[in-house]
A and B are shown apart, each in its own frame.
Chain A
Amino acid sequence: MERYYQKDIECASREQIRAWQDERLVKQVRNVWDNVPYYRKKMEDKGLTPEDIKGVDDLHKLPFVTKADLREAYPYGLVARPLKDCVRIQSTSGTTGKRVVAFYTQHDIDLWEDCCARAIMAAGGTNEDVCQVSYGYGLFTGGPGLNGGSHKVGCLTIPTSSGNTERQIMFIRDLNATILCCTPSYAAYLAESMKEMGLTPDQIPLKAGIFGAEAWSQEMRRNIEETLGIKAYDIYGLTELSGPGVAFECSAQSGMHINEDHFIAEIIDPETGEVLPEGSKGELVFTSITKEAFPLLRYRTRDICILKHEDCSCGRTHIKMSKPMGRSDDMLIIKGVNVFPSQIETVLMGQSFAPNYQIIVDRVNNTDTMEVLVEMTPEMFSDQLSQVAEKEKQVVAALKAMLGIYAKVRLVAPKSIQRSEGKAVRVIDKRKI
């Protein structure tokens, strides 16, 4: 039976959702015009006033906000409420540049936790469940977001945060955790560790996992599901918009429902900025229409995906986004070809490698080179070098078929690629450009 946290909202009619969006967008535009000089200037530069935005149909007129804007406006430039009304900040990891700091009022935190609660209930969670949150707690939004959602659902919450794998497994077993929340790469590591301890899926109490904050393939999902004996649900979010829970997967596992009562989604051509028709692949853009402290209009996520309205078997009416095919800032351009780490993961897992790999990009004599490090598996190993070489050739051929370019495969010893407790480091780019 499908469970909902806020059924009236999650299953509202399309007309109702549209009405909420029209009304809230107009209000939000007025809010930023009045309270954020940075936005007002951006609108004025385009010759816009709040009166020009009468509803979602006018959204395309507004200027985009990019990560560069967020960095330029750091720390207070985009805050729309007096600091006395703000109760928290969260921050991005800063791995791709300067940190971004997002502000929250108590109301913002409430709505964010509602979104996470919807995700947990969509994964089958109830107040009977024990929910272990193994996302990092602190500046990272993963831990605090799911922690709040878990409380709202009424789950017994185990706030382990990330790391200390032995203790994670101890709590899962001793307290019979039924729901696990963490990054997919950490879920894979926990699964690998439990398998090595000789635990079979029926000895692991978990029944569902909510995994997000990084790209992961369907093959990786199946691997985690089989090893832990669970159903694995995707969750999507950005610190800039609130955190996890902007969109979440339901029992259909065919795309994530975007919480459209809080966020308006668009797909644009990343080159021209033009809005693309539904079903097109392009860059995902969000407008947060209920955020008080840190509202963003037309924020470019850099995530490449597809949006689709469809009747979902779960009964929810909110639009679905596909699993991001990669972030445009994760995208590697190798010999002029666009390569997403997730494509490489799909190939490797299709060849029954463990989800541990690393991509090393370099430039030798002005030519890009790509090397993929994968851990040797017992299935692939043979005492005959020619047989190992043959299997290695198959991997190279499969990568070439997927990517269109040659990638060298280097077989390394098991466990030699560092395991991640949060977001995995998949790419090492040594090119000096």
Chain B
Amino acid sequence: MTIQQISVFLENRAGQLAEITAILADKQINMRALHIAETSDYGVLRMIVDQPQQAAALLLEHGFIVSMTPVVAVVVPDEPGGLGRILSLLAKESVDVEYVYSVFGQVNGQACMIFRVADAVGLANLLQANGMPPARGEALGVH
């Protein structure tokens, strides 16, 4: 019930991101979510794509430094307070969220968030047990 996220080291220089998107587009790989964390010198690109294994292999081949991390996708009711319910649960259960970002567009008409935590499987089970089943890869178009 976790999804493979691809992270790529980005040097802060013009054209690095464009290079990556071009490599993926060339092989018809579609991005479903993207998030960048950066310092003044470098950044980490995190993304969910429809073909994670192929995308990682392709980027490695082009000399990028790539890692894969399991993350949890959670469908959030697209209404005020929708995210709050999930975060309250995580706070109550003392689950530290390393970072969180949202998926492009909507999944089944609802918003979707990506959670990175230390124990992704544990979080998936927790959500399941609390009536908030995490989204499966297929729902995000991930094969």
Contacts and interface: CB of A to CB of B under 8 A. Distances in A.
Q: Interface on chain B toward A: helix, strand, loop, or mixed SS?
A: strand
B65 A377 contact: yes
Given A388-B44, A413-B9, A381 B67 contact: yes
B39 interface: yes
Q: Interface on chain A toward B: helix, strand, loop, or mixed SS?
A: loop
Q: How large is the interface on A (under 10, 10 to 19, 20 to 34, 35 or more residues)?
A: 10 to 19
A415 B63 contact: yes
B39 A413 contact: no
A412 B11 contact: yes
Interface in B27-78: 37-39, 41-42, 44, 46, 63-65, 67, 69
A382 interface: yes
B116 A416 contact: no
A129 to B, nearest CB: 35
Contacts, number: 52
Contacts of A378: 65, 67
Contacts of B99: 384
A376 B43 CA distance: 12
Contact of A376 (B9, B37, B46): B9
B7 interface: yes
Given A376-B9, A389-B39, A413-B9, A383 B116 contact: yes
Among B9, B38, B69, B98, the one with the most A-chain Cβ atoms within 10 Å of its Cβ is B9
B2 interface: no
A410 B11 CA distance: 10
A315 B65 CA distance: 48
B39 A381 contact: no
A102 B119 CA distance: 67
A37 interface: no
Interface in A372-417: 376-378, 381-385, 388-389, 410-416
B69 A381 contact: no
Contact of B65 (A381, A385, A389, A410): A381
Contacts of B5: 383
Contacts of B16: 413
B65 A376 contact: yes
29 contacts: A376-B11, A376-B65, A378-B65, A378-B67, A381-B7, A381-B67, A382-B7, A382-B44, A382-B67, A383-B46, A383-B69, A384-B98, A384-B116, A385-B37, A385-B38, A385-B44, A388-B42, A388-B44, A389-B39, A411-B11, A411-B41, A412-B11, A413-B9, A413-B13, A413-B16, A413-B63, A413-B65, A415-B63, A416-B11
Interface of A: 376-378, 381-385, 388-389, 410-416
